[in-house]
Chain A
Amino acid sequence: MTCDAVRKLIPLYYYGELTPEDEDQTEAHVHECSACARHLERARTLAAALDRRTMEPPASLLADCRADLAAAVRGAAAEPARRPWRMWLDAAGATFAAFTRWRQPLGAVALIGVGFFAARLVPAGRGVATASLAPSEGVFVNVRSAQPDSAGKVRIAYDETTRREVSGTIDNPEVQKLLLAAAHEEDDPGVRVESVDLLKDRAGSGEVRDALLNALLHDSNPGVRLKALEGLKPLAAETPVRGALTQALQFDDNDAVRMQAVDLLTMRRDDAMVGMLQRLVQKEDNGYVRSKCEKALKEMNASIGTF
């Protein structure tokens, strides 16, 4: 190896990131060549100097961070929001997998697949016709495994989901339960948007409110979060709602969500928000949100910067 080639390898050699062959060759070369040995020495000195400028976060900072996070997660009210439909689903003997076929809660008509079971087709005697075991119409099948067995037959395990239809007004408790479950359904954002949209006018009910809070804080789709915000608008004075709005305003990565959140939060004067608004003025990229924060701070006679 040439000196030039070895010097290119020295940083990787120092970090133990060379292949064994390159490492051997580098070592052998450095052993023979004093100029390259000095190069390696300099790399070590630089690394040692860099080691000494590492910053260990103080324990108090870690404790503060953990407290912030715990408050944010508690504010998310995830637990109460999730429970009702989980319990109902368990009672119905369904799993969330069953919901993947659910497509249309529109107009409070819901199609839902309930019932989940794995069937093992083990032909017991001869002449068991496959056709008779084939799922009937309206049943969705999800094959989990297909394996030949020693007797020259095929063994198939599949999940079967059936579709049912229910219809009722939005105030029907069963319909609401289905919509609550659908608002949480994770695969199809379209279903979640429709369900949250239907629910949003019923935010007076604690269960619906919790579902909207949950959607606002946890749904990965901004469309769903915006619908949830619409539903929460009449409740913007309530403490848990304000907590969730504050979280959304600070941490949501979608500009429209933050713009809505700042509007709802600044509808009324709230001196407890001063610190949060001051921090936001510093770091918020969106001009509208920033100007709303500044305006709210001015109205509270608070300074715009932090000290």
Chain B
Amino acid sequence: MQEAAGTAGARVSPDVDSLVRAAQRGDQEAFEQLVRAYDQSVLRLAMNLLRSPEDARDVYQEAFLRVYRNLHAFRFDCSFHTWLYRIVTNICLDQLRKRKVRKEESAVVETGEGTIDRTDGFEEESAAANPERATWNRQLGRRIDAALEDLTPRERMVFELRHYQGLRLRNIGEILGTTEEAAKNCLFRATQKMRTLLGDLR
């Protein structure tokens, strides 16, 4: 769904436009429908970038309240998706930049229910069949996290939007207020850095 929604800043569908118009007129239900059309992908983006449910929750709230507050100023110069993602990526980039400064990173993610090792997913699959492989996978997971944290916030954002959210580079450029070419270069630098940091993966 996000792939379709994010394609090259095109009109998503007449439905979204009419929802936006209705919400601009103060129709609360239309606003809610609009939120529900996009909020899962917004939350996934925030969660993957910030690796913290608490921070993702803050981003969600702040982003959609800004949408609520500024929707009247949206003039359909771009798709609603692009406009929304401009807001979301700005908030996330701010968070990433603050973190870079504070360097308060850890390999463990806090959740309401306790902590999860970020690399659990790697282990699950093959732990029973091959314990050595499981250990290696866990290490790989940590190395990948470290490599991602080593990217600049902007590289990290472009990589996240392209690799995990499946947006096209042209749309990413539009969202981040830059050109497709600059987004391309950013993606190239991100993949280069990760290859260097991760070395050969078996």
Name A's B-contacting residues (CB within 8 A): 8, 11-12, 15, 17, 42-43, 45-47, 49-58, 60-62, 64-66, 68-70, 72-73, 76, 78-79, 82, 86, 186, 217-218, 220, 247, 250-251, 283
Extra 6 A-B pairs, beta carbons < 8 Å, given A50-B194, A186-B72: A46-B194, A53-B122, A68-B57, A69-B35, A69-B61, A251-B66
Q: Please state if B43 and A62 are interface contacts (CB–CB under 8 Å).
A: yes
A246 to B54, CA, bound (A): 18
A55 to B56, CA, bound (A): 12
A27 to chain B, nearest CB (A): 19
Name B's A-contacting residues (CB within 8 A): 26, 28, 31-32, 35-36, 39-40, 43-44, 47-48, 51, 53, 56-58, 60-62, 64-66, 68-70, 72-73, 111-112, 118-119, 121-122, 140-141, 144-145, 162-164, 168-169, 184, 187-188, 191-192, 194-195, 198, 200-202
Tell me if A's interface is mostly helix, strand, loop or mixed.
helix
Q: Name 20 A/B residue pairs within 8 A (Cβ), A-sorted.
A: A11-B187, A11-B191, A15-B162, A17-B169, A45-B202, A46-B195, A52-B141, A53-B144, A54-B164, A55-B118, A56-B44, A57-B40, A60-B112, A62-B43, A69-B64, A72-B65, A73-B31, A76-B68, A186-B73, A251-B66
A8 to B187, CA, bound (A): 11
Measured between beta carbons, the chain A residues less than 8 angstroms from B163 are 15, 47, 50-51
Selected contact of A55 from candidates B36, B51, B58, B187, CB within 8 Å: B51
Give the residue among A53, A62, A220, A251 with the most B Cβ atoms within 10 A.
Answer: A53
Q: Please state if B144 and A50 are interface contacts (CB–CB under 8 Å).
A: yes
Closest 4 CB pairs of A and B: A11-B191, A65-B60, A57-B47, A45-B201
Measured between beta carbons, the chain B residues less than 8 angstroms from A57 are 40, 43-44, 47, 53, 56
A57 to B55, CA, bound (A): 12
B26 to chain A, nearest CB (A): 5
Q: Please state if B195 and A53 are interface contacts (CB–CB under 8 Å).
A: no
Measured between beta carbons, the chain A residues less than 8 angstroms from B168 are 17
Selected contact of B56 from candidates A43, A52, A61, A250, CB within 8 Å: A61
Measured between beta carbons, the chain A residues less than 8 angstroms from B140 are 49
Measured between beta carbons, the chain B residues less than 8 angstroms from A66 are 35-36, 39
B64 closest partner in A (C-beta): A69
